[in-house]
Structure 1
């Protein structure tokens, strides 16, 4: 059965470059935040999760010691399903006692062209994926993939604007600077933000984007104020001052409602 995955965290650059992975630890643990969270919950030192000072094998063994503790969690099942397909490892539970043998078997397969980034996707009959992309992303690799006739997998960007509407986050002001550069719009008023986002939405649409994806931990709602009030809220934040909960809710609601209308219009 073909796979059409409208939401994934695959790297468009790795697909464009048809990345070859050096070992199982690299492909499994380099960017999987679900596994990272399990490792942290198990008390594993951060150096063995995202640290640059430890090897892929050391991180892999930390995961091998953690997996038996995840029994009952989907990660336990996912881990064994990932070993079954595409690596063909069955009848063996993954853990510290079996890790060395599994490491060797999987690395032998990863050394072959069939286990490159695109090779694995082709084995799994992937026809289309939607990646997760920030409004400031250039989408250069999506364009590269679309222009390459040898790639028969559709890779479409998905619009993930979390950093736009989470005005309370510490990095919000710095992020707006990056959005200004990407959209070539100076943002000092709420309408400037609309203009910048419109330009980026147009760019995403031109690159094949047809979906949005919002990470909303807490849905704050407040009636949307007029632009003068929204300008004042944005000005307070740009000045480095703290907003009230009501102001945060007003801004968040205003951005989400406006985005929803943009999505409907497109």
Structure 2
């Protein structure tokens, strides 16, 4: 891939003090992630993703919101169009997000871990898609491979009290060094305005708690 300078090494580090604090102290520290939406099953099974859309666009409501705001048809966001078509639709509107964090997030995520430091747009979309898809077939780009790459020491997944924690147990018994722990998020228990759903949830909670 042709390299550019979209995200320089000292991006957002606008003073010498900031550069020293980050590069000399923070950069190599492990990540302890208390809140995320990573599926524990995918981590336990060390999932490999088939393409960039699967790992990057599916389920990312921030990108979806940007696409909708810029008039992209829903079939290219959550519809039945191919993964490549959905990615190219995203690539086409990325330049229009330049004053939004989506623009920076996109290019930071392309730079690390994919090694791409050039602009994503309609012209570069196909090449970037193919390049990243090739990398995703490597072991280092599986779920566990990526967590290790980023030096993630602990992951706190988002879990309902009714969730089956078998994948957390499976991970705790494995030799994977990142700790994957459940966190308590009983959102459904607070939805008292949705009577039928709340009643069904209470029955489910009663069943799993004995």
Aligned mates of 1:178, 1:61 — CA distance in 2:
40
1:180 aligned to which of 203, 206, 209:
203
Asked if the contact 1:39–1:49 (Cα under 8 Å) also holds between the matched residues in 2, the reply is yes
With CA pairs under 8 Å and 6+ residues apart, which has the higher RCO, 1 or 2? Answer: 2
1:162 to 2:187 alignment:
yes
TM-score if structure 1 supplies the norm length?
A: 0.64
**Displacement of 1:75 after TM fit?**
1.1
Asked if the contact 2:188–2:201 (Cα under 8 Å) also holds between the matched residues in 1, the reply is no
In structure 1, the gaps of 5 or more residues are: 186-198, 201-266
2:78 matched to which residue of 1? 50
Alignment of 1:16-165 (within 5 A): 16-51=44-79, 53-90=80-117, 92-148=118-174, 150-165=175-190
TM-score if structure 2 supplies the norm length?
A: 0.81
What CA deviation, in whole Å up to 9, does each residue of 1:112-171 have, x standing for no partner? Answer: 1111111011111111111112222112211221122x21111111222222112224xx
1:4 matched to which residue of 2? 32
**Displacement of 1:175 after TM fit?**
4.4
Structure number with larger C-alpha Rg: 1
Moved over 4 A (4+): none
CA separation of 1:18 and 1:179: change in aligned 2, threshold 3 A: farther
Local SS of the residue matching 1:135? coil
In structure 2, the gaps of 5 or more residues are: 1-28
Aligned mates of 1:142, 1:4 — CA distance in 2:
16
What CA deviation, in whole Å up to 9, does each residue of 1:76-104 have, x standing for no partner? Answer: 111101001111111x1111111111112
TM-align CA RMSD: 1.7
